[in-house]
Amino acid sequence: MDTTTTATHGASSGTRGTKGPPFLAASPSGGAAARTASASTLVLEVIGWPGHLAGQHVDVRLTAPDGYQAARSYSLAAPTDGDRIEITVQRVPDGEVSSYLADEARDGDVVEVRGPVGGWFVWKPEDSGPVLLVAGGSGVVPLMAMIRSRDGVSPAPFRLIYSVRTPQDRIYDHELRRRATQDGGLEVAFLYTRTVPDGETRSVGRITAEDLIAYGWPADVKPTCYVCGPTAFVETVSDLLVGLGHDPAMIKTERFGPSGP
């Protein structure tokens, strides 16, 4: 083994002249756009935002007066709209960044964002095949960007299965229910893990193979599947989809964190 001829190693690491995407100043604007029991939506003005694809995320960085910084990833909730981006942040108990963004941030405050990031968990309007979206809790955020990007632009048939704890936890509730009746080719099913609303026939419980059969696509339709939410939810759903015969290469996942609905 010749390990002395690896002098080119540095060429792939430190010697680039360019810099990666910069952090840009971002300010909440238009008030907290929407709030549920567990999440808040923020519209941020980002001067010089380069645009993004549905499914991508940003890194949001906060700086304390003593210079201490903390950064976390948040999915972009809406299609590109000039210098405005939208994120929806679920409060995590004791969460350093989420509790600030969900409860504290006000119009005119300054945070920083860097992005867009991620090129795998994305949907493009020119992708015309059927799509299955499966969300747990705040995992609906990047899937909402896909639903919104599709509106009026793509005939691709979409089915969303959205698991939440209680009816009060439905993020984008009104918009989703409106779109389910107005956006041709979009179907939406809510699943509840703790409390069901009146009139709901499915009883409370975590998502099962039967739910994916009832509200998703058969595997032979070969949908592209996007599964997003807490790690355990994504593990369960992607295993179930593979078990139902979906090609693992057609299942794209984004895992947000340890716990959830």
Ligand X SMILES: Cc1cc2nc3c(=O)[nH]c(=O)nc-3n(C[C@H](O)[C@H](O)[C@H](O)COP(=O)(O)OP(=O)(O)OC[C@H]3O[C@@H](n4cnc5c(N)ncnc54)[C@H](O)[C@@H]3O)c2cc1C
Which residues form the interface with other proteins (CB under 8 A)? 1-3, 5-6, 8-9, 12-14, 16, 18-21, 25, 59, 62-65, 67-73, 94, 96, 100, 104-106, 109-112, 117-121, 231, 235, 238-239, 241-242, 248-249, 251-253, 255, 257-258
Residue 254 neighbours by CB under 8 Å, 6+ apart: 55, 75, 118, 121, 139, 142, 226, 227, 228, 234
Phi, psi (rounded to 5 degrees) for 210: -60, -40
Closest among 155, 156, 232, 157 to 188, alpha carbons compared: 157
Phi, psi (rounded to 5 degrees) for 121: -85, 65
- Least distance to other proteins from the beta carbon of 150, Å? 22
- Least distance to ligand X from the beta carbon of 26, Å? 15
Q: Is residue 260 a contact point for ligand X (CB under 6 A)?
A: yes
User: Site map for ligand X, 128-167, x if CB under 6 A?
Assistant: ----------x--x--------------------------
Spell out where 76-168 has E strands. 84-90, 111-117, 131-136, 158-164
CA distance linking residue 258 with residue 138, whole number of Å: 13
Span interacting with ligand X, options 45-53, 183-191, 236-244, 253-261, rule CB under 6 A = 253-261
Q: Is residue 66 a contact point for ligand X (CB under 6 A)?
A: no
- Least distance to other proteins from the beta carbon of 50, Å? 12
- Least distance to ligand X from the beta carbon of 54, Å? 13
Query: Residue 40: exposed, middle, or buried by beta-carbon count in 10 A (0-12, 13-18, 19+)?
Result: buried
**8 A C-beta contact, residue 187 and residue 162:** no
In terms of CB distance, is 89 or 188 closer to ligand X? 89
In terms of CB distance, is 68 or 155 closer to other proteins? 68
Closest among 93, 119, 21 to 257, alpha carbons compared: 93
Which of other proteins, ligand X, none does residue 90 bind (CB under 5 to 8 Å by kind)?
ligand X
Q: Is residue 230 a contact point for ligand X (CB under 6 A)?
A: yes
Of 36, 40, 56, 75, the residue at the interface with ligand X (CB under 6 A) is: 75
Q: Is residue 69 a contact point for ligand X (CB under 6 A)?
A: no
The angle subtended at Cα 85 by Cα 104 and Cα 108, nearest 5°, is 40
By the criterion CB under 6 A, which residues form the site for ligand X?
57, 72-75, 87-90, 92, 94-99, 138, 141, 230, 254, 256-260
